[in-house]
Structure 1
């Protein structure tokens, strides 16, 4: 089968087993990152207020500059060394902030970068540069409401052996899962650079040659290198680290024999069955949240009886969090297996592109509140958005193509036999589709899946064959091969854009975002541009 080497980013997630001292260091880093983030938001807000005051006073060109990532890092360095800090427990006042030096410096830089990005996304949304729901004004993070997380990077961050990872300032950490696979990748050494084919130069826009930014004109890159690590604590109290790894990976440029034999398939995601395939097969909906709802209700009743601020209440909160975490992990595991099966057995996959969140907010507005709440809970328990995202992420790796319909495509009310679309959508209470023209009668989900397969066969050649597609936030995405296409006129669901080389340290790159958490056995990646 046709393959090629691609430079991409891939996330490896490992559950950590820290000692009590290391867990205290984690909380210190998370608190420092939260403080730096709030501090950065405040500095930018103050600069915006001063800028507006100058504009209101009639100043043509206000002298106040809105700080970015670089300016925030410089201001943070000056502030931590020169400000007066009063300890809230002892009341002692010191010159300089004493606790800043106990944490890794890159953690503060990454938090300040996130603060600058939060304000930038807010203004981009107001100016219409982001084609999605409006982004609200950045809010401060709270110790009691926000997830405890922080970022680290640098040469100190490394895989020590099959069961240990070394973090800056924290030291050697034991992992619950084996890191042997990542360790072997990192120890492979250098390989030819895929973007420039080992030549050190790539074509410029005007046709001339320019230096390759991936290998810095060297022609060779590491087979795998750790860019950064995001340490976070879930609701159940377990710590994990998501390592963003830039690696050279072999990906397919075309379908395999098994995929070609599977051909085109339409997938109708739903609640009664997680997915109905155009072949007549169904993927059962395990309803993990519904299965754990009794335990969750008992745990929450116990939590409500605990006194606020007590250790007993903290223990009860962790019990509730562990139930939620188990439901989430089971849901992710089932969706990962289902999407992997589809990608490995079919070369063209068609799915509907309707907005899951909009349906939850508006689709049941006329129903009683209890019925609407139960329907929305069942819809959220399916993880349809996650399933479509995983299909889009895995398709470029294995030579498959995912076609996403427009948000208002008529596949849900189109007859799969004659192709006639009814005037009105089928009511939710109707379980069978009946065509008024040809009299075709079929299960509504199976009819939609077959209509999707027919739609994909007719739109496959009309969809763009390569180049850039756009995700739900209009961010440019360059798939590495056969991938996700939006042939219905609306946005495609595509992998996240590449944030290669972006750590907490200021540089010439654009602001990045933390790596998305991924399943360890089905880690996600994005081809490098």
Structure 2
């Protein structure tokens, strides 16, 4: 069966030796230092001179930093990850200038995932094993999913999360089999009680992953708050908190992957709302529930899977009154408080608020798909 050739990343857990772990820690530290110093240089140039510093400028700076006696240790790791950190900073500034993100922030040690990216000239791939530059042994990679037959990695990214786990993401070309075209279409209305309500009337339950571990997480955070700063016991307590957060995130990601795959396989067109989750979480009453729902994670999953399988995701304008509009006669009511879950239109139809909204989202989404009108620019 014919298929689409895509760039696809396969992520695996790996277990470094003591020497490899030390080398990776040094590499992570160097990439963080290069990112932060380049950010400082660019920020200073912009604030004091109104001058934009390009990626090429920072690459030249990096060469000079390696020659300085105080930072000669920047020459120890492979040059690839250091150059990639500068590219990532350039991407962060590009998003800032396009008003898609806030001003780039400095990276802090131990507060987020640390990573390093190696391109094909900085690692070797032989016999299914990967050996990073300046390392004598291949990585001990564990995983149940094999790489596509005959695939050659073009890039690998190694990372260490807050739980101390190491992962490697291997980018290869893969052929995605085509799905048979279907006439089924669906609209999705995001919610809290039900994670998503479909225009078919089905309601996807919200597992509330964070609530399941809320008591355990609160206890671990209290223990962490009582530990002396910079102590070993505090580091152990922080690791406990990170592990609980990690389990919650793993369950949420697995649930969203399962749901997004099902919807893409079943439907030719999927209509959703262009939600501004960043603004919605400013509501203190709903911020925890919205963050736990994972709406901002779900949309990218839908979009890249739809692109793989020849489906289409249509995002309608976030200000469309989907909940207040009757999906039968088109009447728009003046107000619809959040506590109103069922309402009766003047035409006599009794609506479930969420199902009605999903049907309106589908109708507008199909109109947008046909006419290309009334939708905000797609995310980049």
Q: TM above 0.5, one fold? A: yes
Instruction: Determine if the alignment matches structure 1 residue 167 to structure 2 residue 132.
Output: yes
1:132 to 88, 100, 106: 100
SS in structure 2 opposite 1:461? helix
Question: Is the 1:306–1:313 Cα contact (8 Å) retained in structure 2?
Answer: yes
Richer in helix (by share): 2
The CA deviation string for residues 214-252 of structure 1, in whole angstroms up to 9 with x for no partner, is xxxxxxxxxxx423222222121111122233x253464
2:230 to 302, 309, 315: 309
* RMSD (Å) for aligned C-alpha atoms: 2.4
Instruction: Please name the residue that 1:32 is paired with.
Output: 30
| 1:11 CA displacement | 1.8
Instruction: Determine if the alignment matches structure 1 residue 101 to structure 2 residue 87.
Output: no
Q: Gaps (5+ residues) in structure 2?
A: none
Instruction: Determine if the alignment matches structure 1 residue 9 to structure 2 residue 21.
Output: no
Cα distance in structure 2, aligned partners of 1:131 and 1:102: 37
* Larger-Rg structure: 1
Cα distance in structure 2, aligned partners of 1:66 and 1:450: 47
Cα distance in structure 2, aligned partners of 1:72 and 1:276: 48
Instruction: Determine if the alignment matches structure 1 residue 272 to structure 2 residue 221.
Output: no
Task: Please give the residue correspondences for 1:176-215 in structure 2 after superposition, counting only pairs within 5 Å.
Answer: 176-178=142-144, 180-182=146-148, 184-186=149-151
Instruction: Please name the residue that 2:240 is paired with.
Output: 319
Cα distance in structure 1, aligned partners of 2:352 and 2:95: 44
| 1:303 CA displacement | 1.2
Instruction: Determine if the alignment matches structure 1 residue 413 to structure 2 residue 299.
Output: no
| 1:132 CA displacement | 3.5
Cα distance in structure 1, aligned partners of 2:46 and 2:200: 57
Instruction: Determine if the alignment matches structure 1 residue 70 to structure 2 residue 68.
Output: no
Question: Is the 1:154–1:228 Cα contact (8 Å) retained in structure 2?
Answer: yes
Instruction: Please name the residue that 2:115 is paired with.
Output: 149
Cα distance in structure 2, aligned partners of 1:39 and 1:27: 18
Instruction: Please name the residue that 2:374 is paired with.
Output: 488
TM-score, reference length from structure 1: 0.66
User: Relative to structure 1, is the Cα distance of residues 46 and 459 closer, same or farther in structure 2, using a 3 angstrom cutoff?
Assistant: closer
Instruction: Please name the residue that 1:286 is paired with.
Output: 207
SS in structure 2 opposite 1:11? strand
User: Relative to structure 1, is the Cα distance of residues 307 and 248 closer, same or farther in structure 2, using a 3 angstrom cutoff?
Assistant: closer
User: Relative to structure 1, is the Cα distance of residues 49 and 347 closer, same or farther in structure 2, using a 3 angstrom cutoff?
Assistant: closer
Aligned residues: 379
Instruction: Please name the residue that 2:175 is paired with.
Output: 249
SS in structure 1 opposite 2:338? coil
Question: Is the 1:161–1:179 Cα contact (8 Å) retained in structure 2?
Answer: no
Cα distance in structure 2, aligned partners of 1:280 and 1:240: 40
| 1:39 CA displacement | 2.2
SS in structure 1 opposite 2:140? strand
The CA deviation string for residues 303-349 of structure 1, in whole angstroms up to 9 with x for no partner, is 12222111111111111101111111100100010011111011121
User: Relative to structure 1, is the Cα distance of residues 147 and 397 closer, same or farther in structure 2, using a 3 angstrom cutoff?
Assistant: closer
Question: Is the 1:235–1:324 Cα contact (8 Å) retained in structure 2?
Answer: no
Cα distance in structure 1, aligned partners of 2:109 and 2:266: 46
Instruction: Please name the residue that 1:336 is paired with.
Output: 257
Instruction: Please name the residue that 1:228 is paired with.
Output: 155
